[in-house]
Amino acid sequence: MLLTPGPLSTSKGVKAAMLQDWCTWDDDYNLEIVQNIRRRLIALATHNTFDYTSVLMQGSGTFAVESVLGTVIPPSGKLLIISNGAYGQRMRTIAKILQINHIYYEVEETAQPDLDEIENKFKQFQDITHISVVHCETTTGILNPVKEIASLCRKFQKVLIVDAMSSFGGIPLDMDEWGIDFLISSANKCIQGVPGFGFVIAKRELLDQCCGMSRSHSLDLFDQWQTMEKGNGKWRFTSPTHVVRAFYQALDELEEEGGISIRNQRYFANQKYLVTGMRSLGFETLLPDYLQSPVITSFISPQSDKYSFDGFYKRLKSKGFVIYPGKISAHDTFRIGTIGEIYPNDIEHLLNLILEIRFW
């Protein structure tokens, strides 16, 4: 059982969906599956489905992030990157390599971005055209105030790009109501599919302005979108057919569960059960509860000569659970995810195992 922020544990139905081969030219695949997925993603993202569109992009979620940053920001544009973790830092790396004019606003990994400081950036650098921010930064598990940032972007007429990799499908939002222009996520996160493609949900009017702007051939978001629009779901290059079919099944299962709000309740129940149990065993969380997402939780490593993450990891893995190492520099931590095909009884089993194998 993968207690990670993705790849994550998937259902038997999702696994079974990959047992059939699909032809990339077949209408049963493109028209019936790909186009269906595109429509359903928009409906999950906003009630205003008319003004938004969606694009699927081969590769990991980072491929999709790079496709957006490299396509939608014109040579005359300037990007403000808001960062409090590894994935904000990754957007900075992409911007540097693609030679995108940018400003980097970074805060501590355990703190949310300061809204007043963001507004000051807008006033100080009036040539900023685009903003990028991570919704759930899985470096720590912190949930960033994207709705409030979006409100500022509307006030100052900036285009907002949100990396919702680990939140979309598990945390309710409405792109149109919030004011998000581009939202990026991946098949192997809260929708509970498997790795192989990312997707972008975009304001149609803005994406339509991006013809010829991409800094990459294979990651040209506009060309991928146009091919899918005109070709009834056809991808420009070979698509990950098995992964797409698994994602289609995962969307069905999300619907059967009751939608994003019900899945969000399950994830929060998992996370609350985990934190309550871990605290009862003497563990301390890195973040206060009010900053914590239901996706993944960072715990301070025990201060004992008998403890090592590798030993802890291997003991849990031998019992069927896989957790994550820490990813921040200021604290020695480990992380436990609570998304995927995971339920409170699984968390109870994990807590009993930790109590059983505890050796510090």
Are 208 and 281 within one domain?
no
**247-261 confidence digits (pLDDT tens):** 999 999 999 999 999
Domain boundary among 226, 256, 286: 256
Are 295 and 150 within one domain?
no
Mean pLDDT of all residues in 207-221: 98
Are 288 and 239 within one domain?
no
**Contact present, 244 and 34 (Cβ < 8 Å):** yes
Q: Cα separations (Å) of 192 from 11, 203, 347? A: 8, 25, 18
Are 174 and 115 within one domain?
yes
In a domain, 7, yes or no: no
Are 246 and 290 within one domain?
no
Are 340 and 204 within one domain?
no
In a domain, 5, yes or no: no
Are 164 and 236 within one domain?
yes
**135-156 confidence digits (pLDDT tens):** 999 999 999 999 999 999 999 9
Q: Residues of the chain with pLDDT > 70: what percent?
A: 99
In a domain, 41, yes or no: yes
Q: How many other C-beta atoms can be found within 10 angstroms of the C-beta atom of residue 106?
A: 14
In a domain, 177, yes or no: yes
Domain boundary among 240, 256, 272: 256
> 79 forms bridges with which residues in the sheet?
102, 130
**Contact present, 299 and 332 (Cβ < 8 Å):** no
- Residue 199: φ, ψ to 5°: -145, 155
d(CA 337, CA 270): 9
Domain boundary among 198, 227, 256: 256
d(CA 306, CA 78): 50
Are 83 and 146 within one domain?
yes
In a domain, 229, yes or no: yes
Are 204 and 333 within one domain?
no
**For the chain, give me the number of helices (H) and strands (E)?**
14, 12
- The total number of residues shown for the chain amounts to 360
Q: What is the CATH number of the domain that holds 280?
A: 3.90.1150.10
In a domain, 1, yes or no: no
d(CA 199, CA 194): 13
Instruction: Give the CA angle between residues 47, 49, 51 to the nearest 5°.
Output: 120
Are 144 and 274 within one domain?
no
Mean pLDDT of all residues in 198-209: 98
DSSP 152-195: HHHHHT-EEEEE-TTTTTTS---HHHHT-SEEEEETTSTT---S
Mean pLDDT of all residues in 57-68: 98
d(CA 315, CA 300): 18
d(CA 312, CA 291): 26
**117-137 confidence digits (pLDDT tens):** 999 999 999 999 999 999 999
In a domain, 233, yes or no: yes
On average, the pLDDT of the chain sits at 96
Give how many domains the chain has, as a whole number. Answer: 2
- Relative to beta strand 130-134, strand 159-163 is parallel
Q: What is the CATH number of the domain that holds 174?
A: 3.40.640.10
**293-325 confidence digits (pLDDT tens):** 999 999 999 988 889 999 999 999 999 999 999
Q: Which residue has the tokens 């070709």?
A: 231
Are 154 and 176 within one domain?
yes
Are 35 and 110 within one domain?
yes
pLDDT band at residue 5, thresholds of 50, 70 and 90? Answer: confident
d(CA 173, CA 167): 9
Domain that holds residue 99: 12-256
